[in-house]
Structures are given as structure tokens and as C-alpha cells.
Amino acid sequence: MPSFLGILLFFLFPISFSLPQRSSWPNALVLRVTKDASTLQYVTIINQRTPLVPVTFVVDLGGRYLWVDCDSGYISSSYRSAHCNSAQCSLANAAKGCKSCFAMPRPGCNNNTCVLFSENAFVGMVSPGDLGEDILALQSTNGLSPGPVASVPRFLFSCAQTFLIKGLASSVNGMVGLGRSRIAFPEQLSATFKFSRKFALCLPPSTMSSGVMFFGDGPYGLLPGIDVSKLLSYTPLIVNPISTAKVSYKGERSYEYFIGVKSIRINGKKVSFNPSLLSINKEGIGGTKISTVNPYTVLETSIYKAVTMSFLKEAENVTRVAPVAPFGVCFSPMNTRPTIPVIDLVMQSKEIFWRIFETNSVVQVTDTVACLGIVDGGSNARTSIVIGGYQLEDNLLQFDLVGSRLGFSSSLLLRETSCGNFNFTSIA
């Protein structure tokens, strides 16, 4: 018996050493997110590789996975390319077949690996690259402040060529995709640490403060001690059967997050436009999605016209002035402070709506000119409503992939907190 136990321990130990201790497994992880002044992109820093180095990524809510420019000094002793026809390649839905590379082996140049196409949604370009894995590390959290660093030893991502970082904020090395794919960033974290498939986004309104992203369930604590996960209204998440990405395979489903906006109200009055624009048809056209790629909400032309007309009708004490691109409706306050109407995105019932207040609807362009922060998407817009970054700022959004629903808070400023209020001071 003792010898049998000895053999058993001998076999068990090397295995248990490679896994994190169950008791120290985090329930949630946290990342800081900032806004880049020149591109208006949302940026985060994630530690990767051996030795660990901070790598800067643009956040793409609808992106499929994490990709990195591997051609600009990717050095790591723990990088491994995925083997073609392996479980990783099929999990990633990579192109079939085996890829070779006739240069010095390095991340991005391997034999017998599979290829993924990384996408830069800002410029609509793709780059083929090797699927690989490496260590990635981020801070755990109890929801109130950051805790010990948790690492994912074999995080799957795609290598891209340097040209793909075109149009991204300076010093960015890739994009982190939070979309609906098996190897998206949130999915891999949930799978590694066995926490629930939920994540939350709280984007900062300016380049002066930072926002926060949580992976895992709440509490999501913001100073002064408010658990914002308790302040949410919910609406179902919808899958668009056809991708709306600038570049996609024919007939491929969408990796983005769609919701069912049923109508728009301005100061409580229903805005009139063709309601069929709000549903998604067989070709994947229509409906409402949420995007961190668009800095401002984009509306299909007829909705745009109806919304801006009602907005101007309801706004008091403003004088319309020449528009400042990309906006079409700009105004100057008159002698008194203007009164800006509230815009409601009404969901599955009249009582469930996402209310957009002045801080998320009006963009101050100069000292004397302000604009409605919504842009005209044209009459051929694939998606009728794209809720963009400016409208998401200082709102908490929880993507609950277990319940297939979106939790939204509306402006946190009315709850006396903001996305800049996560306490990033670690417990020593």
C-alpha cells in the first residue's frame, strides 16, 4: 500500500504543480482602461510574455480575440505556436491546413501551425498570422481594490504583422477582443479560472481619468463604496446571424453584441421613424449594436434626422450654429443655460430604457459651440443604431454571457460615482 501511494503521489505532483492552487483562484480580474486623446480609442495595458512586459492594446468590444504585432520585438521564452489541426486551432476556428515559414523561427514565423486573421476594425484591415500561446498576467480583485496577480500560462492569441497597427493610438501593439468567440479575452479568463462568464466595461469620459474593466461577476465597487453591479437594468443580448465587420468570411455570424432597442424617446416623447429598421433581417442588416470602435453613436439617416429634429425641438435656449465635423447639429447657448432633453433608448418594455443625459449626448467643441454627439451613418448603414464610446462613458455595462443579457446602469454620475472611481491602490 505505501509504495502504491508513493507512485500515485509521484504521478500526481508534477501535474498539480502546473495548476494554480484552487483556494487562490480569483473570482474576478480587473484592468485599467484609459482614453487616447488623439484617436479617442480606449486603451489598456496587459502584462504578457517571459519575462513579463507591459503590452498596450486598444479595446475592441466586438473583436474576436487578442492579437499582437509580433514583428516588432516580440521576445519571450514561453511563446509556443499552436500545432496545426490541434484542439487550439479548432477552438480558435482557425483556417484549416498547416502553415510554414521560411525564415528564422520566432513568434509569428513557425512551421506546422495554423493561421488566424486578425482584424483592425478602425481601418478595416486584416492580417494573417500564427495562432500561438504565451503567459499573460493581470490583477485579481475582490471587487473593491486590486489583489494578487493571476496568470494564465497558455493564453491563446494571434500574431499580426506591423502594418495592422495602422490607425491605432501611439505605442499600441495590438487589440484585445471582447467579442463572442471561444478564444475572446473574457472567455479564456473565465475558462482558466472557472468564474462566471460575465464581464463589465466602465469607460472613462476623458483622457485625464481612467476607467475600469472587470472580468467575472460583481461586486463592482466604486468609491465611495457603491456596488454598481446592483444598479443595473437588463435587456437580452441578441446574436446577429451575419457578421457586420468590415472584413469577414461570407455568411459568418457576428461576434459583436446586439441589443433590442424598440423605440427612442426624447423628453418622454416617442421619435417617429420606420420601426423595421430596429430589427435584424436575414442578411444581418438593421438592429442596434454596441461598439467601442465608433467614438460617437451612429444612426441610419432617417433615424438620425428624426432624432436631431426632436432634439432641437425639445432643447431650450439654444441657437443653432454651423456644424463642426463629424457632427451635424451644433448650437451655442443663449444668455441663459440651455436645457438639454434626455434621450431614452427603450428596450423590451416601456419601463426598461437606457437614459442618455447631457454628459453623454452633448460634446463641447469650443468654449461657445456644443454639438449633439451623434453622427449620421448614411441611408445604407448596415446597422441602424451603433451605440458608440461617448454614450458609454461613465456608464457601467455588464455583458452576462451566462444569462445572455446586458446589464446597463445609465449615467453613474447620477449615482454620485463615476468610472474613474475604482480604487486601484492594491492591498499591500
Ligand X SMILES: *[C@@H]1O[C@H](CO)[C@@H](O)[C@H](O)[C@H]1NC(C)=O
Rounded CA-CA distance 260/346 in Å is 9
Is the Cβ of residue 167 or residue 333 nearer to ligand X in the bound state? Answer: 333
Residue 74 in contact with residue 161, Cβ under 8 Å? Answer: no
What number of chain residues touch ligand X (CB under 6 A)? 17
Please identify which residue in 52, 91, 101, 365 interacts with ligand X, judged by CB under 6 A.
101
Q: Of 80-88, 107-115, 208-216, 363-371, which segment contacts ligand X by CB under 6 A?
A: 107-115
Rounded CA-CA distance 284/176 in Å is 24
Residue 370 CB, nearest approach to ligand X (Å): 15
Please identify which residue in 50, 90, 317, 404 interacts with ligand X, judged by CB under 6 A.
317
Residue 82 CB, nearest approach to ligand X (Å): 14
Please identify which residue in 50, 90, 100, 404 interacts with ligand X, judged by CB under 6 A.
100
Q: Of 50-58, 100-108, 150-158, 396-404, which segment contacts ligand X by CB under 6 A?
A: 100-108
Give yes or no for residue 312 binding ligand X (CB under 6 A): no
Rounded CA-CA distance 56/161 in Å is 16
Rounded CA-CA distance 411/356 in Å is 7
Residue 415 CB, nearest approach to ligand X (Å): 17
Q: Tell me which residues in 249-308 interact with ligand X (CB under 6 A).
A: none
Give yes or no for residue 332 binding ligand X (CB under 6 A): no
Rounded CA-CA distance 189/105 in Å is 28
Is the Cβ of residue 38 or residue 425 nearer to ligand X in the bound state? Answer: 425
Is the Cβ of residue 281 or residue 426 nearer to ligand X in the bound state? Answer: 426
Please identify which residue in 6, 51, 54, 105 interacts with ligand X, judged by CB under 6 A.
105
The residue written with cell numbers 500574431 in the block is 159
Give yes or no for residue 7 binding ligand X (CB under 6 A): no
Cell output for 404:
445572455
Rounded CA-CA distance 171/350 in Å is 45
Please identify which residue in 191, 223, 306, 321 interacts with ligand X, judged by CB under 6 A.
223
Give yes or no for residue 45 binding ligand X (CB under 6 A): no
Give yes or no for residue 51 binding ligand X (CB under 6 A): no
DSSP label of 21: P
Is the Cβ of residue 114 or residue 277 nearer to ligand X in the bound state? Answer: 114
The residue written with cell numbers 498570422 in the block is 129
Give yes or no for residue 226 binding ligand X (CB under 6 A): no
Residue 202 CB, nearest approach to ligand X (Å): 17
Contact pattern from residue 140 through residue 169 relative to ligand X, giving x for each residue in contact according to CB under 6 A and a dash for the rest: -----x------------------------
What is the binding site for ligand X (CB under 6 A)? 100-102, 105, 109-111, 145, 223, 316-317, 335-336, 339, 423, 425, 427
